[in-house]
Amino acid sequence: MSSESPTSSSHRKSVLVTGATGYIGSRLIPRLLPQHDVRCLVRDADRLDPAVRDHVRTVTGDVLHTASLRESLEGIDVAYYLIHGLGQGSDFEKIDRKAAEGFAKVAREANVSRIIYLGGLGDENDPGLSPHLKSRQEVGRIFRESGVPTIELRASIVIGPGSLSYEMIRALTHRLPVMICPSWLATPTQPIATEDALIYLMEALEVESQESDVIEIGSDDVVTYGDLIKMYAREKDLKRVLITVPLLTPYLSSLWLGLVTPNSAEVGRHLIEGLRNPTVVRNGRSRDVFAHRPMSTADAIRQAVEIEP
């Protein structure tokens, strides 16, 4: 993918946003609206932010339904795929695969010029990669092999109020002055601020190359999940003690997590299975393709704390 003038092809496009009521999608739409014509595929139009509802075209449907996919993708230049089936129970991998295959097929038939997909970091050659991360990367592979040029942005924890992972860190820090912690809190990761993730998603719209690419994004610093809890505690002026034990399985960890955080045990279990895998940036493609440089993890947490409701 060319690194020259990543935003020089800027002009008004017809853009589809899936996951429009989700954490990232709902924050992306207001940024797109001044420059592009936005269409949203949603299950429930009433869940769209009232501030944007009258400024977008809404298609009520589901990525698993071919008819609503055809309606939503007709005439679209670029499609954002910002959904995954993590909360769909034990069959989420099958659901993700079926949804991605159907979306890719209809996008190709509709002559969509680009799919932009927000996936997950993790070493795809790691035999111990969690089902959650494997599924996220399988979806990216389906899109890249579909014949529709695809930019797959891979990220780890997104730092911002409302992000599932950030809210987990926030809840743990507030509710447990002394934490008996599973070993996954020592897993290395490269988080990214919500603001930075949104900027990358916007820049991906204008990249000139017509080839598919996998681009890993994150702050420049590698930290652990335990570090994130300590950094958050410092910003909130809280004293916290972390005691790590090696014996908690992902299942027991999810039950433990369910006692102290707002996440369900099922979603928590899948998240924790992913937290055992290092999620770090392994290539420098983002610096070649994008002009943007992300803020540090410390700045991301500081910014998130400042805007917490």
Per-residue pLDDT of the chain (309 residues; tens, 9 = 90+): 433 444 445 689 999 999 999 999 999 999 999 999 999 999 999 999 999 999 999 999 999 999 999 999 999 999 999 998 655 556 889 999 999 999 999 999 999 999 999 999 999 999 989 888 999 999 999 999 999 999 999 999 999 999 988 888 888 788 777 776 777 778 899 999 999 999 999 999 999 989 999 999 999 999 998 899 899 999 999 988 877 776 655 555 555 566 555 555 455 555 666 677 899 999 889 999 999 999 999 999 999 999 998
Q: What is residue 249's predicted lDDT score, i.e. its pLDDT?
A: 59
Residue corresponding to tokens 């809890």: 229
Tokens describing residue 15: 């853009």
287-303 as b/e, with b when 16 or more CB fall inside 10 Å? eebbebebbebeebbbb
Identify whether 240 is part of a domain. no
Structural domain including 112 reads 14-159+191-220+279-294
Q: Pick the closest to residue 96 from 86, 105, 104 (CA basis).
A: 86
Identify whether 124 is part of a domain. yes
Sign of the alpha-carbon dihedral angle for 261, 266, 267, 270? positive
| CATH number (domain holding residue 151) | 3.40.50.720
Identify whether 227 is part of a domain. no
What is the rounded (10 degree) CA torsion for 225, 226, 230, 231? -30
Q: What is residue 82's predicted lDDT score, i.e. its pLDDT?
A: 96
Identify whether 256 is part of a domain. no
Identify whether 236 is part of a domain. no
Identify whether 145 is part of a domain. yes
Identify whether 102 is part of a domain. yes
Identify whether 237 is part of a domain. no
14-34 as b/e, with b when 16 or more CB fall inside 10 Å? bbbbbbbbbbbbbbbbeebee
Phi-psi region of 79 (alpha: psi -120 to 50; beta: other; left: phi over 0): beta
Count up the domains in the chain and report the number.
Answer: 1
Task: Give the pTM.
Answer: 0.90
